[in-house]
Structures are given as C-alpha cells and as structure tokens.
Amino acid sequence: MHSEGRVVLTTTRSNISGMKAAELKAHLAQTRGQLASTLDALEDKVNLPKQLGKASRKFGRRVQTLRQENPVLLAGIAVGVVAAIGVTAYLVVKITSKR
C-alpha cells in the first residue's frame, strides 16, 4: 500500500506466522513488487540527467504552446533575453578592459 509516496507494509509478524506456505510466497512476491516499485520511484527522483531531460521537454512544450497561442509575446521574450545577454557581455568587457 502506498501512502504519500512511501510503501507501507500492512502485515504484522503475527499475521505472517499464521500464513500457509502458498500465502507466504504470495505475500513475499507482493512485498518484493512494492519494494521494486519504491526503488524505481527513488531512482527516478535522484537521477539528475533524467530529471533534466523531463524539465527540458516540459519547457519545450510550454514554449511550443506559447508560440502557438501568443507568438508576439514569445518574440518579445526572446528580444529581452538577447538584450540582457548583450548588456551583460558589454558590461563584462567594459569592466575587464579597465583593469
């Protein structure tokens, strides 16, 4: 059973001791499945390249949506970004050339 992204095992020791061999095997298989699912979820969360790929795809979809819905706004944002980069480069050159 999952609770807020965690696996919660609901079987107590007394419940296990009363199980038959087939029930124990089924319970063990279920528990292994839950553990595998939890480990997969953890691996997914801590895998930085995978998370960056997801974020990149999400950003790309948002840009595509903006391009379709409001291309003028997207062009304005692009001009602003280019201007900010240009001003930053100019200031870096100006500051470093004075030294």
Is residue 11 within 8 Å of 27, Cβ to Cβ? yes
pTM above 0.75, yes or no: no
The verdict on residue 7 lying in a domain is yes
42 and 7, same domain (yes or no): yes
Do 37 and 68 reside in the same domain of the chain?
no
Are residues 10 and 34 both part of a single domain? yes
List, in sequence order, every beta strand (DSSP E) within the chain: 2-3, 6-7
Give the range of the structural domain holding residue 34, as residue numbers without chain letter: 2-46
Using one digit for the tens of pLDDT, what is the confidence trace for 42-88? 998 999 999 999 999 999 999 999 999 999 999 999 999 999 999 99
3-state helix, strand, coil in the chain (%, to 5): 80, 5, 15
Which pLDDT score is estimated for 40? Answer: 92
Instruction: Answer for the pair 49, 57: CB distance below 8 angstroms, yes or no.
Output: no
Residues 9, 12: Cα–Cα separation, whole Å: 8
Q: What is the pLDDT of residue 18?
A: 77
Type and span of the H or E element at 96 = helix 71-97
